[in-house]
Structure 1
Amino acid sequence: MELVEHAPAVRRALPDPVGRALAATAVVDASPDPYAPGHWSLRAGSKVGAVAVTVPGSAPVTVRVTPKVPVVRLFFLLGYSLVGNRSWRDGEVDVAEHSDLVPALAHAVERQVDRALRQGLLQGYKDTEESALVVRGRLREAEQIRRRFGATLPVEVAYDEFTTDIAENRILRTAVERLLRLPGVPRAVRRRLSHQRARLADVTAIVRGQPIPEWLPTRINARYHHALHLARAVLDGISAEHAPGGLRIDGFLFDMNKLFEDFVTVALRQAFQTMSPGHSVRLQDSHHLDEAAAIRMRPDLVLYGPDGAPCSVVDAKYKAEKRGGYPDTDLYQMLAYCTALDLREGHLVYAKGNAPHAAHQVRHAGIVIHQHALDLDQEPTGLLAEVEDLARQLVNTPRV
């Protein structure tokens, strides 16, 4: 089934267990059609990608949600959000001729993994604890007493092992494994992914449910950086669930709301660092609306002046749901932010859609709420120029 992000609902014939699974997991908005048994009304929201729903005894049903933003532009937003600077350029990630998200993602990850591994697998030291017949490293005395009750062998030891089974390789191996299980990966890409899995055969994959190991960018692992950023996006976006009765859902989904929010806040922070080093930025900064500090608020971005006081506030909203313009609830939310932060102006940033820039003077409050629209369907240089223009306005926002 092919759906388009935020497009009108469509009616499709679906087994009821599949429809209920889609509704329960919020992959799409799904509800049974009261006038046509066996049919469901499906509407894609901000999640894009593909999921396969398998019901015992029937073929998997694959639902693909296509983003409105061109795939190559989506990868620019993703890369800029992950890396946080201009070193991630449009075209840095090769998506070839793929126009669908999952094939493009699988192709991009495979190409980046291949580049990372061309000089061989990175090696590093790994903390290892085990039972051994010879002493290696240091003796774990407490474990020896607790587990061996005075026996001399085997010995509980701990040592640093120089190995390829390190966090960086484990993340790449796990991302490759999970991409191989996704629906919609082209055969040629799947074959190349299998080759990368073979190169990482001696590396331990991360078991689902385990935390993703941390890694630090250094000069030594520099050739891995882009591959690791993409691999982490794969691991964060993978969705797989087992439901009662053998129902299974596998897939990959990007939340465009989160992706847009991350891009806007990271790009603005980068712009502030360049044009006004005296200002500081906090993302998802915690504040309170009331004097008793019972109602917490978390604006996407708060800009602080050289004196440490808030001077501007931003909230990013990917989709304007209201057909005639921006949602009123966003205005109420921004009014609360401005009031609590003692600001005369607030800024809502949308992806360009059905409404242009607008500014609203709030009665009896002296507060102006601006609604900006970024055109995502343009070259990155133009998009980042729009962000820089917005940053200049924010730096000059007056206080109450």
Structure 2
Amino acid sequence: MTLHLHLAEATASLPQPLTPAQIATLATVPELVTITPTAGGRWRLAGRQRVGTVRLGHKDGAIELRIRPKLPVRRLLGLLGDYDDIWQNRQITAATDHLLVPALATVFARAAERALRGGVLHGYVYREDALAVIRGRIRTSAQLSRRMGLPTVIEVAYDDYLADIPENHILLGAIELAQTLPGVADTTIALLRHLAGRLVGIVSARPGALPTWRPTRLNERYVPALRLAELILSGASLQQEGAQAIQIDGFILNMAQIFERFLTRQLTTGLLPYGLRCVAQQGHRLDQQRRVLIQPDILIYRDGRPTAVVDAKYRTLDGAPPTGHLFQLISYCTALGLAEGHLVYASGTPSAEPYRIKKSDIRVYVHVLDLSQGSTDLAIAVAALVDRLAAGPEGPRQRVDPIPL
């Protein structure tokens, strides 16, 4: 019998009994949940910074684990970006749902339906083949080496116009996976099956092996659905430390990663009018021997050189920042020769004054972007952060608005 566990993100549950098989199942996913023994043979469970629903284990150890986000589903998907039009146009009702996975499946199904409304996207695919008739150009070297120059079969290369392209691979892979996610409504599953029937003869993409594509004028109507499809497929695997990704039956979002990407998007857009550029996860070396790699969350460049580093922390700031957070940012500043470092937390109360580091010019500033506040207040907080970063150690910088055409 399957055990149904309902937890909240980064929150501990009341102690409850677990069988040895269930404990063994939960021990395989320490990145999702922690288990701690308590009195009376019971166990306290705590969700980590991930949300979603997964099925784990089998037989006596079978568990359906649901970790709900602290934020409403509408607010959470707003942080993901690229989907504002889906919510604002009131094209679905799942935004009021408190269950992330069913809501996301419904959002994706409606987006995929709109993408396919104009027909299945086709594109040119390069092919090499041996045919009885000439198509494209003759591969002369292959014809001579393989066919002895005889014209019975002709080695050719050509561009074929067909539907078996990366965009449809990704779309079909997410459609097939979304049908299996826990809690998805029957009406949504029916729509997904209908959409899969329109993509006959296409090879579906699998989690961890997504083909490469890029937005163009030709696939513009596919882009919202593809962004969601990538999200669904990327959430279908977990990466354990020191091990390969393990496949799971369900969907999980890494909230710390979402916050970091949200912050990167906001700063990239906000700082651009000031002539500043943001670079995410750029690799640098900490030591002179170049043995230790560091990857700051965000580096801010002014006139081609970095001037500040930003580190996103998806947690509540309760008092002073943890020493480890300060040490990390000081290391970044020291290695990169920067005078400013910025810690940005997802909730809490920021420090009024920066931390001035002894025997150096480094200052560490602490900010809070409270994700629980309304979109207007959050936008104001983001604008204030952008203004502070735009000033930089060299003082305020003039905003340059684009010239209207």
Q: TM-score category by the smaller chain? A: 0.7 to 0.9
Q: Paired residue for 1:231?
A: 229
Larger RCO (alpha carbons 8 Å, 6+ apart)? 1
For 1:356 and 1:258, how far apart are their aligned partners in 2?
A: 21
Q: Paired residue for 2:338?
A: 343
Deviation, structure 1 residue 58: 5.1
Secondary structure in structure 2 of the residue aligned to 1:352: strand
Q: Is the 8 A contact 1:52 1:63 kept in 2?
A: yes
Deviation, structure 1 residue 231: 0.9
User: More deviation in 355-364 or 291-300?
Assistant: 355-364
Residues 1:293 and 2:290 are matched in the alignment: yes
Residues 1:361 and 2:356 are matched in the alignment: yes
Q: TM-score, normalised by structure 2?
A: 0.84
Structure 1's 50 and 75: CA in aligned 2 closer, same or farther, altered over 3 A? Answer: same
User: More deviation in 14-23 or 171-180?
Assistant: 14-23
Structure 1's 135 and 208: CA in aligned 2 closer, same or farther, altered over 3 A? Answer: farther
Equivalent of residue 284 in structure 1, options 265, 281, 285: 281
Deviation, structure 1 residue 356: 3.3
Q: Paired residue for 2:114?
A: 115
Deviation, structure 1 residue 143: 5.5
Alignment of 1:139-218 (within 5 A): 139-140=138-139, 155-207=154-206, 211-218=209-216
For 2:18 and 2:190, how far apart are their aligned partners in 1?
A: 32
For 2:385 and 2:370, how far apart are their aligned partners in 1?
A: 13
Q: CA RMSD in A?
A: 3.0
Q: Is the 8 A contact 1:79 1:88 kept in 2?
A: no
Alignment of 1:55-134 (within 5 A): 55=58, 57=59, 60-80=62-82, 91=88, 94=92, 95-134=94-133
Amino acid at match of 1:46: Q
Q: Is the 8 A contact 1:240 1:250 kept in 2?
A: no
Deviation, structure 1 residue 145: 6.8
Residues 1:268 and 2:272 are matched in the alignment: no
Deviations 1:148-174 (A, max 9, x none): 788865555432211122221221111
Secondary structure in structure 2 of the residue aligned to 1:76: helix
Amino acid at match of 1:4: A
**Percent of pairs with identical residues:** 37
Deviation, structure 1 residue 116: 1.0
Deviations 1:301-333 (A, max 9, x none): 111222x3322111111114x765532210111
Deviation, structure 1 residue 140: 4.5
Secondary structure in structure 1 of the residue aligned to 2:88: coil
Deviation, structure 1 residue 10: 4.2
For 2:139 and 2:110, how far apart are their aligned partners in 1?
A: 43
For 1:111 and 1:40, how far apart are their aligned partners in 2?
A: 41
Q: Paired residue for 1:244?
A: none
Structure 1's 26 and 374: CA in aligned 2 closer, same or farther, altered over 3 A? Answer: same
Structure 1's 249 and 17: CA in aligned 2 closer, same or farther, altered over 3 A? Answer: farther
Structure 1 unaligned blocks of 5 or more:
242-246
Structure 1's 145 and 14: CA in aligned 2 closer, same or farther, altered over 3 A? Answer: farther
Q: Is the 8 A contact 2:13 2:44 kept in 1?
A: yes
Secondary structure in structure 1 of the residue aligned to 2:15: strand
Deviations 1:320-377 (A, max 9, x none): 4x76553221011111222233333311001014x43453232333432111110112
For 1:96 and 1:34, how far apart are their aligned partners in 2?
A: 38
Q: Is the 8 A contact 2:15 2:38 kept in 1?
A: no
Aligned length: 382
Secondary structure in structure 2 of the residue aligned to 1:165: coil
Q: Paired residue for 1:136?
A: 135
User: More deviation in 211-220 or 8-17?
Assistant: 8-17
Q: Paired residue for 2:10?
A: 6
